[in-house]
Amino acid sequence: MNIAPLRIGCLAHEAIALAHEGRVVSTFPHAANILLDGGFLITLLPLHVPMHPWAIGPVCGLASLFVGEQAQVDSQRLVVNSMVIDLSDAEIANLAITTRLAKPCSAAILDHLEFWVKSGSAPDAPHAIGAQERIEKALGSFSSAGDVDLLASVVGTGEGLTPSGDDVILGVLAALDFVSSLDSQARLIRQRLIHQLSQRLERQTSLISVQMLRAAFVGQYPEPIVALTYALSKQNVSSGDIDHATAELCAIGHRSGLDILRGIVTTLRWATPTTTPVFT
């Protein structure tokens, strides 16, 4: 079966260029992960699943892949069993935030985004309450005093392939990038957070989460994050624009999108000392 995906994340493209082989290490209804011999994970995505920096998509036939199958890799193609993924004409996706916030978000927009967070959050399981309390404390300390030390300490906190603490931090990193033209401190705080995270990532969290955060370090994010920042940067943003982009973000994972949004909203509030005009 020959497949010609339309797009490949720029970091997946770089990782494949350095690899010779790999193996399927996990499969899901909407993805499969291949560990390359260079130590990087790349993700194969089906149709209608948003791109991220380490992904290739769309790829059909993912149900035919099994954990443990070997992959042969070069810069032009990836072969797993009878599946041949031709990468020669795939667009290399640059998933950077290209528009920056020019003025503080309005109170109405921030309240609207926060409503999404609260309405989408299910009650935490008893064993997860402690982790969520740590994350909330870290977000509060960051919001009130720009404390990145406590925020960095929650990396690896929570459950899932990308723990809640990591997803929240990803949202903070993206939002600091987004507001960097608006707030002179944002770049400095972002660099301090990256420095703190760099010292603990590999020993505290999963490989896929390490890669997502390191992608954020160099300004590459899952596509729904980029789409939300683009919507928020519009001069005459509407609630419909916000809702569409936010829904796409919140659809990531079991709760990853909501946790990313928590980090984004917290950072936007930190960067918004006064209220500005409401939705148009």
| pLDDT tens series, the chain, 280 aa | 788 779 999 999 999 999 999 999 999 887 999 999 999 999 999 999 999 999 999 999 898 999 999 999 998 999 998 899 999 999 999 999 999 998 888 899 999 999 999 887 765 665 567 888 999 999 999 999 889 999 999 999 998 889 999 999 999 999 999 999 888 899 999 999 999 999 899 999 999 999 999 999 999 999 999 999 999 999 888 889 999 999 999 999 889 999 999 999 999 999 986 544 443 3
Q: Give me the pLDDT at residue 193, please.
A: 98
Q: Give me the pLDDT at residue 124, please.
A: 61
**CA angle at 64 for the pair 58 and 67, rounded to the nearest 5°:** 100
Q: Give me the pLDDT at residue 224, please.
A: 98
Q: Give me the pLDDT at residue 279, please.
A: 38
14 token code pair:
């770089």
Task: Please state the separation of Cα 113 from the chain's center in Å.
Answer: 17
Q: 27 — phi, psi (to 5°)?
A: -135, 145
43 token code pair:
């993700």
Domains delineated in the chain: 2-93 (2.40.50), 107-270 (no CATH)
Question: How many Å apart are CA 25 and CA 234, to the nearest integer?
Answer: 41
In the chain, at which residue ranges do the beta strands (DSSP E only) sit?
2-3, 7-9, 21-28, 31-36, 41-44, 55-57, 70-73, 77-80, 83-86, 91-93
Name the amino acid, one letter, at 182: L
Listed residue (26, 65, 271) closest to 162, CA to CA: 26
267 token code pair:
């950072």
Q: Give me the pLDDT at residue 125, please.
A: 62
Question: How many Å apart are CA 226 and CA 20, to the nearest integer?
Answer: 31
Pairing of strands 83-86, 2-3: parallel
Q: Give me the pLDDT at residue 122, please.
A: 63
Q: Which residues pair with 32 in a beta bridge?
A: 27, 44
Q: Give me the pLDDT at residue 250, please.
A: 95
Listed residue (21, 97, 11, 14) closest to 54, CA to CA: 11
Question: How many Å apart are CA 74 and CA 66, to the nearest integer?
Answer: 21
Q: 91 — phi, psi (to 5°)?
A: -70, 130
